[in-house]
Amino acid sequence: MTALTSQDLIGVIGAGAMGSGIVQVALNAGHHVVLFDAAPAAVERGIASIDATYRKLLDKGKIDSATHIDRMARLQAGSTLADLAGAALVIEAIVENIDIKAKVLAEVEALVGIDTIIATNTSSLSVTALAARLQRPGQVAGLHFFNPAPVLPLVEIVKGKATSQCVADTLFDTALAWKKIPVRCASTPGFIVNRVARPFYGEALRLLGDRAADVATIDAILRDCGGFKMGAFELMDLIGHDVNYAVTKSVYDAMYQDPRYKPSLLQKELVDAGWLGKKSGNGFYAYGADAAKPAVTLAPAAPRPANIVVEGTLGVTAPLLELARAEGLAVRHYPAAGPALWHIDGVTLALSDGRSAMQADLAAVFDLAVDYTTAGSIAVAISDLAPAGTQATVCGFFQALGKQVIVIDDVPGLVVMRTVAMLANEAADVVQQGIANAADCDLAMVNGVNYPRGPLAWADAIGPAFVHSVLAHLAAGYGEDRYRSAPLLARRALTGQSFHAVAP
């Protein structure tokens, strides 16, 4: 173990919400901590906030009085940067401006020992570029916590081009000792989480722009069918559109305008209007005292089907067959090569493969679910060329399985399938480029943004070849490079190898 010990002093620069949260993490691990901010009043507010947090934990019985007193006794207010001189680790959590960060850290570097690790909590700036402005770039690394730092378990350990392996290992082991879940990654725009997460927002915005469904409906599908804790629009409103749009634009520009990261004019319009989400009272949703959340339109009750025939390989849709039989529906399954076709009272439908129902020459398609057994709802799309009564037949089938049915426009890939395919593709690109390994990509997305499943584990469950075909169909349908498959995903599709069983 190369972790810092509780005897090592920790310095934190920046007394805002993130800096104060990091202080708590270090105090909880037994360290003495010095908190500094250029504004003395901010330090006072930060310490008061930390004390208030501990008092709440005390009132709830989660810590005792002795623990509260001990932790606060180990916290010192720094009046100048010189108070950080004895620190073994200095963590910077100030404004996201590389010039300001570099100026402050250069001053710190001149004060601390040559073995002191200087870490930045930046979420979007290049650790390599920041370190290059200091005299000892090998001692500089990213230590990216997620807000609120005492609660969210993930920490990204970001290795710049010059960061020494010893420094990266020390931060990794220290994060483990602090009871966090660390993941390693190279310095790249967005690191793991903010890069891989872009399609979660981008595809929802694209679907809204294509008028596939309204905001509340897309969010409901992502939650109830996809298993995400929040829908994309709810989450953007919570983060703040100024912040979320800025991160998207930053990654887009840093990636030389790669269309995969293209910002949305719909979100820009909200930012221009000052509709920043929950903090401003308006975003995709209204948050006034009298504001009511829009209701999602569910399909009306329809008759149970009488005859079901399934041809092909069930794959991730296998639970639907089990549910149908458990509900006493008459089902015959004929295994065969290729994805399953479901014939419901003469109506043919299938899991979305990235084509609309009309493009696939089907009456209807249905969306991916994180778990068809427990999913509360299923999204379906009906072809414009489908015969009359198709919607009732399709809805009656899923309703017989105990699911609510949400009907959206017949758009390629529906909601969950195209979102998951794009998330997996982005994660595959991160692995392909050696930025992080597959295990860390999945750990990061599950523990950093609370995804129901790691994108690459999800791709393994669906099958890399199927994910690749979804993207190929989206690319053909839209005629855009945005949906190109990462080389590693294309290779896995050809070999049939999983992401977690085989190294790139």
Per the listing, tokens 């940067």 go with: 81
Residue 283: how many CA atoms within 13 Å on its side-chain side? 25
d(CA 471, CA 489): 10
In whole angstroms, how far apart are CA 429 and each of 60, 155, 364, 492? 45, 21, 32, 12
- How many degrees, rounded to 5, is the angle at CA 321 between CA 317 and CA 324? 130
d(CA 226, CA 220): 9
Continuous segment of H or E residues that includes residue 473: helix 464-478
Q: Alpha helix locations (H) across 14-132?
A: 17-28, 40-59, 65-73, 98-111, 127-131
Order of strands across the sheet with 364-366?
A: 331-339, 308-313, 341-344, 347-351, 364-366, 377-382, 404-408
| Token pair of 303 as six digits | 């008759």
Continuous segment of H or E residues that includes residue 477: helix 464-478
Catalytic residues: 123, 144, 156, 194
d(CA 25, CA 19): 10
Q: Alpha helix locations (H) across 225-300?
A: 232-239, 241-254, 265-273
Q: Give the burial string for 389-419 (b: 16+ CB within 10 Å, else e).
A: ebbbbbbbbbbbbebbbbbbebbbbbbbbbb
Pairing of strands 75-77, 89-92: unpaired
Closest CA to 379 of 229, 236, 233, 213: 213
Continuous segment of H or E residues that includes residue 142: strand 140-145
| Token pair of 355 as six digits | 């084509």
Q: Are 216 and 232 in contact (CB under 8 A)?
A: no
- How many degrees, rounded to 5, is the angle at CA 54 between CA 151 and CA 446? 5
What sign results for the dihedral spanned by CA atoms 147, 22, 91, 35? positive
